[in-house]
Amino acid sequence: MGLLGIISGTLTLQGKGFFAELKEKTVKNEYGEARVLLSRKIAFIPRHGRDPKHYILPHRINHPANLRALKDLGVDEVIGINSTGSLKKKLNPGTIVVPDDFILLYGGPTVFDAKPVHITPMLHEGVRQKCIAAARHGGIEIIDGGIYWQTQGPRLETRAEIMVMSQMADVVGMTMASEAVIAQELDLPYASICSVDNYAHGIGEKKLTMEIILRHARRNADAIIRIILKYVEGRKS
């Protein structure tokens, strides 16, 4: 069995649990360079970088380099941990969602620029079900299913944009769909665990700020680490 790949962003996972035992490795490939934190069981990429002073904005993340690095390191399953905004009033900040589909209307990245190849994009149901089982085994309440709408960023969305999105999707973010597409193109099974960290612009009554987003992200971090621990335990059996 290979390594479990984990890609995370806003959630503060580093320094917690087995994330405290990771060693950094720079991996170069045809798409660029990726910095990966490694242990005997996992390969972890902080998608926005490790240095807050050099934060990688969502539209500048090199998804092909990151996913290719994981594949080259022997990863056989990938979980994306994604910070999202709620598009539904009933979907409260602090909730954890395991989506089953996504919307990416502007195209997004690909590794097939020079190949006449097409995929039918989807999240990997096997990995998705393992995430759900791990959460339930750990006594963590999650929502099974939902639609993730990816915007390009780095700006947040207008009220009018959110009004349109809320008719079709449940959560909004800037990274997951791109990762899912590249992972599938590279034949890497990928699913996402979404931390609902705020109401999207216009859904909630309070003005949306990064402080609010980060506060809820920190609250969900411990629960998501427990899910990952249970997931790793399940891979042994």
The two tokens of residue 193 are 């665990």
pLDDT for the residue 231 = 94
- Strands (DSSP E) contained in the chain are 3-8, 23-29, 32-38, 42-46, 75-86, 96-98, 101-103, 143-144, 147-150, 171-173, 190-199
d(CA 223, CA 121): 28
What letter would DSSP give residue 232?
H
Residue 72 has which token pair? 């080259």
Computed on alpha carbons and rounded to an integer, the radius of gyration of the chain in Å comes to 17
Percent with pLDDT over 90 in the chain: 63
According to the model, what pLDDT value does residue 211 have?
Answer: 72
Task: Tell me if 169 sits within 8 A of 149, measured CB to CB.
Answer: yes
As given in the structure block, the two tokens for residue 122 are: 């989807």
pTM of the model: 0.91
Residue 68 tokens read as 């290719």
Dihedrals phi, psi of 195, to nearest 5 degrees: -90, 120
Low-confidence ranges of the chain (pLDDT < 70): 10-20, 115, 206-210, 212-213, 216, 236-237
Domains present along the chain, CATH in parentheses? 3-236 (3.40.50.1580)
Number of C-beta neighbours around residue 38 at 10 A: 16
Buried b (16+ CB within 10 A) or exposed e, 91-109: bebbbbbbbbebebeeebb
